[in-house]
Amino acid sequence: MKVAIGCDHGGINLKPLLIEYLQKKGIEYVDFGCHDKTSVDYNEYALAVSNAVAKGECDKGVLICGTGIGMSIVANKVKGIRCGHCHDVFSAKMTRLHNDANVLAFGERVVGPGLAMEIVDAFLTTDFSGDERHARRVNKIRAIEEENMK
């Protein structure tokens, strides 16, 4: 598995810790920035990570900003991306099981580093359930994309 990871200045303290976690787990990753505390627009980092996942260059994406909100809004505008905005382990697990989310977004100003690590772990280690009802709903999301993101 290859993970695309990105943050804005609001997630700059957490990203290195998550990268350390990925390295310890032997998970391949691409760091799309940002790399310092200079104020930047979350849009470009969310787009870079989401495009890498949508194009199949990476399998999953992780986005961190202050709240995770801006990142998730942008990510969900990219065709093929289902971004879960999760601040607890249960939601991170469920967004994989039920929504087959391929990008996770959360806020450094919302969760501490320990919980953040567990959220990422749940997201990366949980497979889509594949249940017919969930697959049907994910396909309905794809149909909306086909209609609205031509």
Q: Interface with ligand RB5 by CB under 6 A: which residues?
A: 8, 10, 42, 65-67, 69-70, 107
User: Chain centroid to CA 54: how far?
Assistant: 12
Q: Quick one: 69 or 117, whose CB is closer to ligand RB5?
A: 69
Distance CA 145, CA 150 (A): 8
Q: Quick one: 67 or 76, whose CB is closer to ligand RB5?
A: 67
Identified catalytic residue from 7, 34, 65, 86 = 65
Which residue in 52, 45, 53, 97 sits closest to 73, CA to CA? 45
Residue 85 annotated to the active site: no
Query: Helices marked H in 9-112 — which ranges?
Result: 14-24, 42-54, 69-75, 89-97
Residue 35 annotated to the active site: no
Closest approach, Cβ 87 to ligand RB5, in A, equals 12
The catalytic residues are 65, 98
